[in-house]
Amino acid sequence: MTTSPRSGSGARPQQGRRRRPTPVSNEPRQTGVSSQSGTPNTPAPSRTPVVMVDTFTELGVPQSLADVLARGGVTAPFPIQCATLPDSMAGRDVLGRGRTGSGKTLAFALPTVVRLSNSETKRQPKRPRALVLVPTRELANQVAETLSPLAAAANLKMVTIFGGVGQNPQVAALRTGVDIVVACPGRLEDLIQQRHCSLDQVEITVLDEADHMADLGFLPVVRRLMDATPTKGQRLLFSATLDKGVDVLVQRFLDSPVVHSVDPEVAPVSTMTHHVFAVAAADKASVVHALAGGRDRSLLFTRTKHGAKKLAKQLTQAGIPAVELHGNLSQNARERNLESFSEGSTRVLVATDIAARGIHVDEVALVVHVDPPAEHKAYLHRSGRTARAGAEGVVVTLMTPDQVNDVRQLARAASIEPVITRVTPGHQAITSLVGEPAAFVRPAPTAAPVRQPQRSPKPRAVQPAAPGASAGSGRPNGAAAAGRPGRQGGQGGRPGGRPGGAGAGGGRNGRRTGSGSSSSR
């Protein structure tokens, strides 16, 4: 196995310096097919057909790792893996595009494990040797699930780092020493600032879902993290789309990358069918219930967190068990709901775009855009939850009269030609897609709120009256006697109160006079 010739650390590039990739279209190793020519500064993906092989070992994967994959039911590599593994395991920087569900995770997991296994560096506290950056917590967990058995077979330690949970276990793992960190950018940068982690020993950096990470909210922190890795380390970028945001990262951080694009951005028509249901606003809720009421797994996307929560509750109350997935849930709730959907105990998942990237659940038969997304990339990633790994799937977009122009532009940008049907509740087009409805599931009774018993007020302690005080007043008799005539006397009593005290003064002067009498005694 050939390891990377660029191991070790080196001087960091100057801020703002851009290293232009070298086109590699004439190199025989470059593979892939693509309908796009790349961005102006990114080398165009090669158009040479992918040379498919039957086993991972033919691509140079060690037998021990191939055995791990076989035990998990993975025996033959996918096109993105056949295209990229020869270059990535040889230590070259790679920019790979494959549609969601095409097998990109193994395409970077295998070279990561192989490189660290062949490296002479040792595990150190707080200094990981490999970094995998992902945009969401769910994707971090799924990448870790794929990497974990491979890392264990190579005696490598791994940790996932993301927000929404306590940082102490993550800090403890880093302190002990790990080889691979799978992280979301925000929490990782936070731990670096707290000096719990350093990236100066990273040998290979992976950026998964690079187009999402290059969005405005991720690009600054991603650049800072990648600047903190050694210049001579290997970089692998994988994404479903190669747009200008990705080009910024390519120009700055990749050294003469090999670009592979083996899939169009959407699945072939033979595996993914696109429909648009034109529906009146008044009928939309009934149509959604009918689409979600089938026997197969369905994934419904809404625009807002509130919409996802509300729809999941409405479906459950209608006898269609559903769980929600959005950013307002705690990490434990998100994992619990996703596990329920993955295991099949719940057939319907209602989610925001948080689930549109990296969530791999087998046998999702139907994706419904309850609310059409704002741009075509979100549509592609949402739709990519079905028709994964060669399976078939159906995508339905609901279109109300006020959304006609938006949906038309969305379809054009996504390069799809959906079947457009005007439907009402009970329409044959719905039945043909969903099939026989599932049995009604009685919702669990809602527990009545427990009323806390009201506590009786504590009796107030009665202070014993001081000697010479009138009952109930707590003031000296002289003060009480002085105050009352003062209030009755009005303004005329004020002047006399100051010198004479008790009889003529106002309330304040009367109290002052009373206290004076007590002190004199």
User: If you average pLDDT over residues 161-176, what whole number do you get?
Assistant: 96
Higher-confidence residue of 448 and 123: namely: 123
pLDDT tens for each residue of 68-96 = 999 999 999 999 999 999 999 999 999 99
pLDDT at 357: 67
pLDDT at 108: 97
Q: Which of 119, 280, 65, 126 is nearest to 81 (CA)?
A: 65
At residue 465, the pLDDT reads 61
Show the tokens assigned to 518.
Answer: 């007590």
Domains of the chain are 57-261 (3.40.50.300), 272-434 (3.40.50.300)
Structure confidence at residue 504 (pLDDT): 41
CA distance 50 to 61: 18
165 pLDDT above the threshold of 60: yes
CA–CA separation, 384 and 296 (whole Å) = 17
Alpha carbons 369 and 383: distance in angstroms, whole number = 9
Q: Which has more pLDDT, 143 or 463?
A: 143
Using CA atoms, how far residue 2 sits from 91, 119, 138, 157, 334, in Å, is 8, 11, 33, 23, 41
Token look-up 């527990």 returns: 447
Nearest alpha carbon to residue 350 among 314, 322, 329: 322
3-state helix, strand, coil in the chain (%, to 5): 40, 15, 45
Higher pLDDT, 174 or 44: 174
Predicted confidence at residue 363, as pLDDT, reads 85
Q: Is the pLDDT reported for residue 310 higher than 90?
A: yes
pLDDT for 299: 96
Q: Of 213 and 4, which is predicted with more confidence?
A: 213
Least Cα distance to 31 among 76, 69, 78 occurs for: 78
Number of H helices, E strands in the chain: 18, 14
State yes or no: pLDDT of 30 exceeds 70.
Answer: no
Query: If phi over 0 gives left and psi between -120 and 50 gives alpha, with beta otherwise, what is residue 73?
Result: left
Distance separating alpha carbons of residues 41 and 351, to the nearest angstrom? 36
State percent of the chain over pLDDT 70. 71
Q: Looking at residue 327, what is its pLDDT?
A: 84
